[in-house]
Structure formats: C-alpha cells, structure tokens
C-alpha cells in the first residue's frame, strides 16, 4: 500500500525534526536540499549559523527515494561524532574585517574544507586557520 502525500510529508517532517534534535539545533537553522541524479536522490543538509547567517554543508546522503536519503542522513547524524574528526576553521568574507569561527566534522582536513566551501565562490572568503580539535 502506497503512502499518501500527506503521510509522506508527515514522516519526512518527523525525520527532519529527529535530525535537528540529534544535532541539538533549531530546525529553522537547517536546510534540506534534495536533487535527483539518475536513479538516485541526493540530500544535502546545510546548517545556518545564527551569528553570521552563512550556511555550510553539514553532510550529503543518497537514496533511491527522498525518504531513504532522509533515513540515511538520520543514521549519519546519530553516529558522526564517533566516526569523524572535529575541525575549527577561522575565516572572513573578503572586504569584511570580522573574523568568524566555524566548526566541522569530517574524515580529514580536505573534507572539512570541501564542506566549508561547498556551493560558494571560493574567492569571496579568506581562510585564516584550520585546526584539528583534540579528541574529547
């Protein structure tokens, strides 16, 4: 039996709220972007920093359906603190004297930089430092 559109929407909202809860973030500071690629659905989850209003890629997941991509994202969110390193990036926008600090979880420094720069013109930002944070 197929789910109705409203049942699907309710389940998707529940999963999105679960993801926000596991991250300890307000759902309003998360952006879920879906795209179709061949026979798969890709989900990019972005976080929005409430101080400087910049959005950064948190993680990407893939599934055959949007629901599968959401479930995969929830699974990642439940485990990422145990499987990925923590990085601090200090940066500013070109032409702006404000120094910002953002935190990323990634398998390595290159992936942290990819998450930082995903979907933006790299010429608009200046990175001052990237630090691998100590294990806690």
CA–CA separation, 61 vs 44, rounded Å? Answer: 7
Quote the pLDDT of residue 129.
97
Quote the pLDDT of residue 3.
58
Quote the pLDDT of residue 1.
44
Give the CATH number of domain 1-83; options: 3.30.160, 3.40.50, 3.30.420, 3.90.320: 3.30.160
Averaged over successive runs of 10 residues, the pLDDT of the chain (136 residues) comes to 73 93 92 92 94 92 94 94 93 91 95 95 93 86
CB 5 within 8 A of CB 16: no
Quote the pLDDT of residue 53.
87
Structure tokens at 83: 């499987």
Say which CATH topology domain 84-136 has.
Answer: Ubiquitin-like (UB roll) (3.10.20)
Quote the pLDDT of residue 7.
84
CB 89 within 8 A of CB 129: yes
Name the residue ranges covered by the structural domains of the chain.
1-83, 84-136
């Amino acid at each position: 039996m197929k789910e109705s559109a409203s049942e699907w929407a309710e389940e998707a909202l529940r999963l999105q709220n679960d993801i926000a809860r596991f991250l300890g973030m307000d759902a309003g500071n998360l952006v879920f972007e879906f795209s179709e690629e061949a026979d798969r659905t890709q989900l990019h989850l972005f976080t929005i920093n409430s101080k400087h209003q910049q959005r950064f890629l948190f993680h990407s997941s893939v599934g055959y359906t949007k629901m599968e991509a959401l479930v995969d994202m929830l699974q990642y969110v439940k485990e990422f603190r145990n499987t990925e390193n923590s990085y601090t990036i200090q940066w500013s926008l070109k032409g702006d004297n404000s120094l910002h600090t953002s935190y990323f979880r990634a398998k390595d420094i290159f992936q942290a930089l990819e998450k930082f720069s995903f979907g933006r013109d790299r010429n608009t930002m200046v990175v001052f430092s990237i630090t691998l944070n100590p294990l806690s």
